[in-house]
Amino acid sequence: MDVAVVYNFAEHPGGGDLVALDIVEALLEKGRTVTLYTSTPEGVWKAAQYFDKNLRTFENMDTRRVEVPRIAKHPYNIYLITKKTLNELKRYDLVVFFDDIPKPALELKRILVYVHYPHAARIKCDVLRRKFFKENPIGKLVWRLHSHLFVKLFVTDNVSIRKNMLILVNSSLTLDHVRKLLGWDAIILYPPVRAKVISNMWGQEHKEAGVISVGRIEPEREYEILIKALAIMKSERKNLPKWVTIVGFAKDSKYLKWLINLAKEHGLGKVVNVETNASPSKVYKLLARGSIIVSTHPYEQFGIAVVEGMAAGCISVVRKGFNGPWIDILQRGRYGYGYVSPKELANTLATLIESPPSKDYRYKLMKRALEFDEEIFKAKLLEVIKLLAK
């Protein structure tokens, strides 16, 4: 089977790159011929180094550089790559896309789409639209133009979906939105997590009463809930964590500055640390040293960082509701704790600090995390690809 992957690595660093790397890896390890179509060929090496992958594996992948205007950002650069190379892509047995389907791709033999969360759904429902595009006048204008152009270039309904298309989604939330908003049928395939790698680091670090929260530094993450919970604990004279670290890519500098100032206003400047653009190894070491991982995002699609924390023996505390961490990972409290308000989060953190769960409980969470390991992801991916070959 000859496979083409249309993707720009390292354009938006994060879990999406790991998913794409593992898809390529799984196919290459199975002996498939893989060609990457991209406008940023250096990106795959950046992503592979960032996630400490074996670079020799990706030397077996062909790379086709496709020139597109620099002004064209994701997802429009993907559309242009597809359109410019359509005749070449028609020769492949399978073409892999991510999140959305460019309309020219409807002419291809077989398509696999891995969906973290599609732009098409964001246009039809603003639940996961960034606040900048909801509240800022310039952002509103950009979104209006984007919405108008996107529907002309990408598939946004179920009319064009055919039997030669396999749509995979990363969580129950994404599956629900894809079905209700777009009418697409899909299969849940949870994203890969480096669970085994992280779990092996756990025994090398001494556990401290530290709290970690991981994700892009942007308003949608609502990290302020964690700071407000700490302020409640302080006002009620409850034991605070030894340290609290919020770590992630600096997506919004204004929000980052506001968070730091908010911590200082509550007298938490020496407790709360915000670390930006840390390497995965640095994050893993923090998780191995800390005791609790907190997820503050109300609409997290999956929550790779939550699983990473559990693999490191951290107790997971996440927002209750219809989201990946609470539904898909913790199974509504079976493998961790949930909260709906800063007060409830404060009470939970205080309890976990004063009466830490046993090591056996931490092992239970670690075993749950191993169910999402990247080797399991690869095996399941290859199984579902067989569905397209029938």
DSSP 138-159: HHHHHHHHHHHHHHHHB--SSS
Are 309 and 247 in contact by the 8 Å Cβ rule? The answer is no
Give the residue with greater pLDDT, 250 vs 294.
294
Residue 293 has pLDDT above 70, yes or no: yes
pLDDT of residue 205: 62
pLDDT of residue 342: 98
**Which of 95, 90, 151 has its CA nearest to residue 123?**
151
Residue 97 has pLDDT above 80, yes or no: yes
Residue 219 has pLDDT above 70, yes or no: yes
Give the other-Cβ count within 10 Å of 24's Cβ: 25
d(C-alpha 199, C-alpha 191), whole Å: 17
Kindly state the DSSP code that residue 225 receives in the 8-state scheme: H
Residue 105 has pLDDT above 70, yes or no: yes
Average pLDDT over residues 57-78: 94
d(C-alpha 323, C-alpha 300), whole Å: 6
388 pLDDT band, cuts 50/70/90, is confident
Amino acid at 90: K
Are 374 and 193 in contact by the 8 Å Cβ rule? The answer is yes
Average pLDDT over residues 83-103: 97
User: How much of the chain, in percent, has pLDDT values that exceed 90?
Assistant: 82
How many residues are there in the chain? 390
C-beta contacts of 278-282 below 8 A and 24+ residues apart? 278/247, 278/248, 279/50, 280/50, 280/51, 280/52, 280/194, 281/52, 282/247
pLDDT of residue 132: 85
Query: Which range has the worst mean pLDDT, 51-55, 161-165, 243-247, 345-349?
Result: 161-165
The CA distances from residue 373 to 159, 172, 291, 310, in Å, are 35, 18, 21, 12
Which tokens go with 27? 């196919």
DSSP bridge partners of 276:
248
E-assigned strands of the chain? 2-6, 33-38, 62-65, 94-98, 111-115, 165-169, 187-188, 210-214, 243-248, 272-276, 292-295, 315-319, 337-339
Residue 127 has pLDDT above 90, yes or no: no
pLDDT of residue 129: 82
pLDDT of residue 125: 84
pLDDT of residue 134: 86
**40: burial class by Cβ within 10 Å (0-12, 13-18, 19+)?**
middle
Average pLDDT over residues 50-57: 91
Between CA 122 and CA 130, with CA 127 as vertex, the angle to 5 degrees is: 70
Axis-axis angle for helices 224-235, 342-354 (nearest 10): 60
Average pLDDT over residues 96-106: 96
Give the other-Cβ count within 10 Å of 206's Cβ: 7
Average pLDDT over residues 124-134: 83
User: How much of the chain, in percent, has pLDDT values that exceed 70?
Assistant: 99
pLDDT of residue 203: 66
130 pLDDT band, cuts 50/70/90, is confident
d(C-alpha 18, C-alpha 49), whole Å: 11
